[in-house]
A and B are shown apart, each in its own frame.
Chain A
């Protein structure tokens, strides 16, 4: 799965110390646009390291039309990083958008279909399925992300193990 990650998911994962864990998922490639990278702030050493070692690929926005960006901005009134994700996903049908933001998820699902939208919790559950994390470890990370202020939904008890 080719994933383009939004700042909301990246920040949640970084705050729980879970970014390096989900980047170990086999069969996944992770991508980031410049505007999302900027929104993650200057003090994001895990992100810097992941980009430096190639775990996250930096996308080139010089090949991306500003028209698409402006159109999505007009359509959904999201932030720059979220809009950039939509524009890249529009340009590359293989991309699945990873965002933890409710409004961005609704816009992306409405535009591209729900099967092209995931969030950090999906990635944690994939880690459990692939044996990288135990169910209780994934739940602990989810609870930590919520404790750190992540805008995340309530989950069923068996979300990570069901």
Chain B
């Protein structure tokens, strides 16, 4: 039997077969034989997929009859990207199309809506235009509800996914925009969402199917310098969008008034921690934005972050230790509401099974039943 998917995952994750054997309960010599073409039992595939935290389908060869979404991310992802994670994103696109058709829900912006450009100042200006168009021209406040704006106002299909090695991804497929954000610390997810939104708005041609896959670069994803111009621009856009300069100025003034800090004092860790909690970003991302706004010296964000880790274990522990207010909640639905509604409709019509919808959308069958409950008005 051809289990090329299994072989590919073992290769890309550089897995030790003895360890995989220990975790799965399948003897190492059987794994070797299966990879070489021996017929596995369903039990063996089930145990291997469980140990690898992938779907059984991911162990089988990719289906070449599937639409191009299957190959979309493979073409753009780093060669070390996890094949199961890529397949997961592609399946979500494939089945979204199957469930909803390829009719874009909304189309509220065009290439002329935003300013063309590649500089940090251009990104800042475009963040302001975005806030003007989609946030009732609020140029000051936090955007903790950005996930809702992206889904409801822009018609983007937003998925929070469990995908090893992925930070975020965005794509246009058959005219429909998609953003995928890896499940993790919510402020990190918010920044990734804003970053991918930058790609959708400025780097995707809606007339063509296109994808960008951003690898997980650990905590550095939000604060470290990025090399590619597109990445750098999306980073700047995310930073400016989530921490607008006017908002930062007002918040900082209030923080200093409350804590009786003189206006000419250098920015300290507590002030950055408070800004990060107000605007829903990680400490690293908030500090980097302060650096870009020249509130911290160049390199100051990294130094402060390193110092907090060394002294307190993490920035969050430092914030908690001095009794800063808890972080406000940032809500990410696992799948878009309208996709869930379409899935329920298609299950009712017998066009897709409840088990398949559950697997593709990444939600339990009981959640689909809950969505099918009759509503009482």
Contacts and interface: CB of A to CB of B under 8 A. Distances in A.
Nearest to B61: A70
A41 B364 contact: yes
A147 to B, nearest CB: 7
Interface in B52-89: 55-57, 60, 63
A102 B372 CA distance: 14
B42 A69 contact: yes
Interface string A84-128: 100100000000000001111111000000000000000000000
Contacts of B55: 80
Contacts of B371: 149
Given A34-B46, A64-B41, A103-B350, A150 B372 contact: yes
A148 interface: yes
Contacts of A41: 364-366
Given A8-B365, A62-B41, A148-B369, A35 B46 contact: yes
A39 interface: yes
Given A101-B353, A102-B349, A149-B373, A60 B43 contact: yes
A101 B355 contact: yes
Contact of B355 (A8, A70, A146): A8
A35 B358 CA distance: 13
Contacts of B45: 66, 69
Nearest to B95: A77
A147 B369 CA distance: 10
B352 A103 contact: yes
Contacts of B369: 11-12, 15, 148-151
A142 to B, nearest CB: 14
Contact of B358 (A79, A83, A84, A149): A79
A102 B43 contact: no
A11 B55 CA distance: 21
A43 B347 CA distance: 24
B351 A103 contact: yes
Nearest to A35: B46
A161 interface: no
A82 B43 CA distance: 15
A78 B356 contact: yes
Contact of B366 (A11, A107, A151): A11
Interface residues of A, number: 46
A64 B43 contact: yes
Interface string B336-377: 000000000001111111111111000011101111111000
Nearest to A34: B46
Contact of B374 (A11, A68, A70, A147): A147
Given A61-B43, A151-B347, A146 B356 contact: no
A39 B374 contact: no
Contacts of A82: 353, 355-356
Given A150-B369, A151-B369, A79 B42 contact: no
A144 to B, nearest CB: 11
A66 B39 contact: yes
B372 to A, nearest CB: 4
A34 B44 CA distance: 12
Nearest to B371: A149
A13 interface: no
Q: Which of B41, B354, B374 has the most CB of A within 10 A?
A: B354
B1 interface: yes
Given A8-B365, A80-B355, A104-B355, A148 B373 contact: yes
Nearest to B373: A149
A63 interface: yes
B367 to A, nearest CB: 9
A62 to B, nearest CB: 4
Contact of A151 (B46, B60, B372): B372
B1 A79 contact: no
A87 B355 contact: no
11 contacts: A6-B355, A8-B365, A11-B369, A12-B369, A66-B42, A66-B45, A68-B42, A70-B1, A78-B355, A79-B356, A84-B42
Interface of A: 6-8, 11-12, 15, 34-35, 39-41, 60-70, 73-74, 77-84, 87, 101-107, 146-151
Given A147-B374, A151-B347, 4 more contacts: A12-B369, A65-B42, A66-B45, A79-B353
